[in-house]
Amino acid sequence: MQRIRLRYTKRGRLRFTSHRDFQRAFERALRRAEVPMAYSAGFTPHPKVSYANAAPTGVGSEAEYLEIGLARFRDPELLRALLDESLPAGLDVVEAVEARTSGLAERLEASVWQLRLDGVEPEVARRAVAAFLAADAVEVQRSTKNGIRTFDCRAAVTRFEVVEGDGDPDDTTHQGADRPQAQACAILRLVVRHLTPAVRPDDVLSGLHATADLAPPVPAAVTRLAQGPLDEDTGTVTDPLAPDRDAVTVSAGSA
């Protein structure tokens, strides 16, 4: 069985696509592209598709990952192009590599998130970020099926800063009536370690409210810029597909 790892995006209005909606759209794309999928054994065989750490509904992303198993060999780039053509604009398959190593999910150790806070002055945001980072712990609450859960969101945040620019990695992501015009805007960028329970961007926003009383007048526009292995020395997130890409390069060079 050939294993292919894919990176895809959620852009524009497609950021409101739920993970279940994406699964249905992706399985239709596999059929349209006539991908020779491998199937699980048993009474109800399923195509071998493994999804890893999907972004929450309503959040844009430049770095979503999944892995598929094929019954016959296919060129990864040709497969990427066929799947991209078969998905709606906004759900874009931007990279494909043949899996030569194991454990894609285990490599997704942290995410880089960008939060656009319309109506918030950058200096106000800087003071709020400083207060958040200065705290030893920042407890927030989240409603779950088992009731209200309280947990520390500070421990998961390894980097947090206010950055310059319009904060829009995708020009269509935040266009429209939900973007206030000609007013203050703060762009926050943070690296969040994947822990249990998972700390989400809205948890960090709750933490900013708890530590610095920061409450944006409109909902934040959130985009995941990257996810992958966490470099503990620099606090940066690296490419989870790099080992597979390097393995292909080494193999080609030695042939």
Element (H, E) at 177: none
pLDDT at 161 (0 to 100): 97
Q: Report pLDDT for 119.
A: 96
pTM of the model: 0.88
User: What's the pLDDT score for residue 245?
Assistant: 85
Closest CA to 65 of 121, 120, 105: 105
Spatial neighbors of 94 by CB under 8 A, at least 6 apart, are: 7, 8, 9, 80, 84
- The one-letter amino acid at 57: T
pLDDT at 249: 47
* pLDDT for 252: 36
- Over residues 156-168, the pLDDT tens digits come to 999 999 998 766 6
Q: What is the pLDDT of residue 14?
A: 96
Q: Is the peptide bond before 197 cis (omega within 30 degrees of 0)?
A: yes
Token pair 């209200």: residue: 148
Low-confidence ranges of the chain (pLDDT < 70): 166-182, 248-255
pLDDT of 175 reads: 41
CATH number for domain 2-106, candidates 3.40.30.10, 2.10.25.10, 3.30.70.580, 3.30.1490.100: 3.30.70.580
pLDDT at 42: 84
Q: What is the DSSP letter of 222?
A: E
Structural domain spans, the chain? 2-106, 110-237
The H or E element spanning position 8 is strand 2-10
pLDDT for position 248: 53
Q: State the angle between helix axes of 19-32 and 76-86 in degrees (0 to 180), rounded to the nearest 10.
A: 110
Mean pLDDT for the chain overall:
90
Q: What is the pLDDT of residue 24?
A: 95
CATH code for the domain defined by 110-237: 3.30.70
Measured between its terminal Cα atoms, the distance across the chain in Å is 22
